[in-house]
Amino acid sequence: MRWYCPGCWCDFGADLARCPRCGLDLHGFWDSRDYLEKLILALDHPEPTTPVRAAELLGRLRAAPAVEPLQRLVRASADVFVVRAAIRALGAIGTRGAHEFLRTLTDEPARWIAEEAARALDAAGRRAAAQRLDAPQSGQEP
Ligand SMILES: [Zn+2]
């Protein structure tokens, strides 16, 4: 797993408290209210690795406010890696709207988009099933 600095977008292999490059207080930034807004703004960054990283983080955070901007990115971006990251993030966020959008993508004429969307839905389905297994069974109170 890679970690990213949302200040300078360098990546590193551990959950560090401070960015080794720009010194940003990473944990403080994670906790700040406008963190999501900044990640969402980064989806429109002109350098394509930045939207890819922002999408990965938004997916990991299951950021529901990012669903609309990610959908727009899937439609608007000409970059395969950006579109792929946005599709995966939508699967990870997993709101009803995100999954409905992914289901419409499975009919895309562009085959790689349809396959990526199907994979994202599949992964989300497996996560949901695992969570159900972890949840306490109902109706077993003594
Ligand atoms: Zn940094």
Distance CA 45, CA 65 (A): 18
Please give the distance, rounded to the nearest whole angstrom, from the Cα atom of residue 47 to the centre of ligand 1.
Answer: 16
Distance CA 100, CA 81 (A): 21
Please give the distance, rounded to the nearest whole angstrom, from the Cα atom of residue 12 to the centre of ligand 1.
Answer: 10
Please give the distance, rounded to the nearest whole angstrom, from the Cα atom of residue 88 to the centre of ligand 1.
Answer: 24
In a domain, 129, yes or no: yes
CATH of the domain at 84: 1.25.10.10
In a domain, 72, yes or no: yes
Domain housing 80? 49-134
In a domain, 141, yes or no: no
In a domain, 40, yes or no: no
| Band (137; pLDDT cuts 50, 70, 90) | low
User: What's the pLDDT tens digit per position in 70-128?
Assistant: 999 999 999 999 999 999 999 999 999 999 999 999 999 999 999 999 999 999 999 88
User: What's the pLDDT tens digit per position in 64-85?
Assistant: 999 999 999 999 999 999 999 9
81: closest CA among 119, 112, 102, 111? 112
Q: How many domains does the chain have?
A: 1
**H helices within 23-106, ranges in order?**
26-31, 35-42, 49-60, 67-76, 80-93, 96-105
In a domain, 1, yes or no: no
In a domain, 33, yes or no: no
Please give the distance, rounded to the nearest whole angstrom, from the Cα atom of residue 25 to the centre of ligand 1.
Answer: 9
In a domain, 12, yes or no: no
In a domain, 115, yes or no: yes
Distance CA 102, CA 90 (A): 8
